[in-house]
Amino acid sequence: MRKSNLLHVLFGAALALGLSLLLVLGLSALIWSGTLPANTPTLSLTIAMGLCTFIGGRFAIRKGSASMVTGFTTGGVLVCVMALICLGVSGSVPFHGRFLATVMMVLAGGAFSGLLGRNKKKKQKQKKK
């Protein structure tokens, strides 16, 4: 992986992490206000993490190379950050079904963003003078 492509992957992962933190804040506010039922935070957070990774992966692919590896690496970086956050907060990384489902959703969001590839640019016709 080229150095500039790695930089785009890190920016995409940072964007995905920022968006996921905003969505977590929004979902917790909706649950606290009673708009969402209190028994669905796991599913909501899993979907939000996958969506945020998809957006971060699309950013990395648009700026860097258009390959599935770029999107999947963006998801992998976000998984590592999630594991470090869990390790820092609770002292261990949980390997139960909910955490593994979130990890799989994050990796799938990154892989799906890579699968779509880069948007093709339209060729512009040059005017004759």
1 with 74: CB under 8 angstroms?
no
Element housing 123 (H / E) = none
Counting every residue written for the chain, the total comes to: 129
pTM of structure: 0.79
Q: Which of 105, 23, 122 is nearest to 57 (CA)?
A: 105
* pLDDT tens column, 17-72: 999 999 989 988 988 898 888 887 888 888 888 999 999 888 888 877 767 788 88
Q: Which SS3 state, helix, strand or coil, does residue 119 take?
A: coil
Mean pLDDT value across the chain: 83
* pLDDT tens column, 89-107: 888 777 788 888 888 999 9
pLDDT at 3 over 80: no
Of the CA atoms within 13 Å of residue 60, those in its CB half-sphere come to 41
pLDDT at 4 over 70: no
